[in-house]
Amino acid sequence: TQKPEIYKGLVGVYADVSSISKVMPETNSLTYRGYAVQDLAENCSFEEVAYLLWEGELPTAAQLAAFREETASQREITPALHRVIREFPKDAHPMDSIRTAVSFMGLEDPETGDVSEAAQYRKAKRLFAKIPTAIGATYRAAKGLDPVAPNPAHSFAENVFNLVQGRVPEPEVLKAFDVSMILYAEHTFNASTYTARLVTSTGADMHGAITAGIAALKGPLHGGANEAVMHMLKEIGDPAVAKEWLQSRFDHRALVMGFGHRVYKSGDSRVPTMKKYAEKMAEVVGDRTWMEISRILAAEMLEKKNIHPNLDFPAGPAYHLMGFEIPLFTPLFVASRVTGWSAHVLEQQADNRLIRPLSWYTGKEQRPVPAMAAR
Ligand code: CMC
């Protein structure tokens, strides 16, 4: 038979339907359940958006209060997980640590073998509640610090800062962080979300799907880009050398992290909002270096390559200015994206068919197995 058309990287392939989010590259826009992300970012808390992604509608005040109470009361991780975390190598990458911690949460989940939709949804909410606690505990354990106990009175954003940094910052910083969580929450069939759906399609459970999603997110072509962006900005260090640095990347035909996107070719819908809040962080901290280098890189990339920045480009310096260390940036992405991943797990499961594509064979023709002496 004739070689079929191969869609390498699944470029342009519609693999399924989904009612969770919609990317419209023609207008650089993105909606979650019909609401524009920038509208959600300006007007809602991350908890409201998490509820929206799962339930399909924004919560009323009473529903939000109940949701906050339900999730905030589940933030504690077990003494067993704390012990395991203390055994992690001190130089482990926090993405590997959080992947392992989530996998462990699956072992000890009270409904571990139950993949009914109701149980899977409860697992999603437990993961949403516990992931920041695990991020804080792994980060602090690697530094030889005691974990901070989650405070159920804290909002999602306050909780993350408290668990990691042991302090709750001023409202502008909390708002910028919440905006980043909202913008990172969901993005159709990106690599990690599709990974989570693929795992789910076999009938496997929520913790397996999310563990696999975390593994996929770590890569620098995906979520790992937010860390790579800040490493790059630090390497450049000074706006005066930004152009020259970029030219040397061009000369080596090297990737420039935080630029380009599989779906958006004329601008990422999430960038203007994140950039606005990264600028605010630069004002709060009183350090414009990173935004100035960013401005030069973005202008040059557009002029010389016609390539636009993606969300990771402003998110990297924003997290740095909020006081997070670089290896935590992608784990913070996990804390947000677990909402989108799990919404997709539930959607996949509600109308499932095993995901199993074909490969076109290009190896050796069929041949007999030679005897050992003849090889
Ligand atoms: N730096 C330099 N050149 C680039 C970049 C970049 N960041 N992105 C794309 N290009 C070039 C690419 O080399 C190709 O050139 P040519 O046609 O000469 O071979 C052209 O632009 C088209 O790109 P592509 O390779 O077809 O794009 P893709 O859809 O396969 O890959 C991507 C998308 C995101 C993997 C890629 O743009 C990239 O590697 N970017 C850097 C990593 C990054 O920032 N990732 C974050 C992605 S978005 C948010 C997230 O998931 O966290």
d(CA 59, CA 50): 10
Q: Does the beta carbon of 260 sit less than 6 angstroms from any atom of ligand 1?
A: yes
Q: How far from 365 is each of 3, 144, 359, 361, 372, CA to CA, in Å?
A: 15, 57, 16, 10, 20
Task: Enumerate the β-bridge partners of residue 309.
Answer: 259
Q: Does the beta carbon of 228 sit less than 6 angstroms from any atom of ligand 1?
A: no
The pTM (predicted TM-score) of the whole model is 0.97
Q: Where are the alpha helices (DSSP H) in 46-190?
A: 46-55, 61-72, 79-87, 94-108, 117-142, 156-165, 171-184
Q: Does the beta carbon of 312 sit less than 6 angstroms from any atom of ligand 1?
A: yes
- Say which residues have a Cβ less than 8 Å from residue 125's Cβ, sequence separation at least 6: 54, 70, 71, 74
Burial level of 374, CB count in 10 A (0-12/13-18/19+)? Answer: exposed
The predicted pLDDT at position 176 comes to 98
User: How many Å lie between the centroid of ligand 1 and the Cα of residue 257?
Assistant: 8
Catalytic residue among 154, 187, 207, 222: 222
Low-confidence ranges of the chain (pLDDT < 70): none
d(CA 44, CA 14): 31
Scanning the structure block, which residue is given the tokens 């940094």? 165
Nearest CA residue ID for atom 24, ligand 1: 262
Q: Does the beta carbon of 313 sit less than 6 angstroms from any atom of ligand 1?
A: no
Nearest CA residue ID for atom 39, ligand 1: 221
| CB of 67 closer than 8 Å to CB of 51 | yes
Q: Does the beta carbon of 255 sit less than 6 angstroms from any atom of ligand 1?
A: yes
Catalytic residue among 154, 187, 207, 261: 261
The predicted pLDDT at position 202 comes to 98
| CB of 214 closer than 8 Å to CB of 102 | yes
The predicted pLDDT at position 317 comes to 98
d(CA 264, CA 308): 9
Pocket test for ligand 1, best of 193, 194, 259 (most atoms within 8 A of CB): 259
Active site residue 222: yes
Starting at the edge strand found earlier in the chain, the sheet holding 29-32 runs: 21-24, 29-32, 35-36
The predicted pLDDT at position 26 comes to 86
d(CA 65, CA 59): 9
Q: Does the beta carbon of 225 sit less than 6 angstroms from any atom of ligand 1?
A: yes
Strand locations in the chain (E): 21-24, 29-32, 35-36
**Domains of the chain and any CATH numbers:** 21-221+326-350 (1.10.580.10), 225-321 (1.10.230.10)
Active site residue 91: no
- Say which residues have a Cβ less than 8 Å from residue 128's Cβ, sequence separation at least 6: 50, 71, 338, 339, 342
Q: Which of 96, 29, 123, 93 is nearest to 339 (CA)?
A: 123
Nearest CA residue ID for atom 3, ligand 1: 255
The predicted pLDDT at position 91 comes to 95
Q: Where are the alpha helices (DSSP H) in 56-88?
A: 61-72, 79-87
| pLDDT tens track for 149-183 | 999 999 999 999 999 999 999 999 999 999 999 99
Sign of CA pseudo-dihedral 23, 24, 25, 31: negative
The predicted pLDDT at position 348 comes to 98
d(CA 189, CA 197): 9
| CB of 224 closer than 8 Å to CB of 234 | no
Question: Hey, how many other C-beta atoms are within 10 angstroms of the C-beta on 187?
Answer: 23
Q: How far is CA 152 from the centre of its chain?
A: 24
Structure tokens at 79: 């003494």
The predicted pLDDT at position 28 comes to 83
Q: What is the distance in angstroms between the CA of the first residue and the CA of the last residue of the chain? A: 31
d(CA 330, CA 93): 10
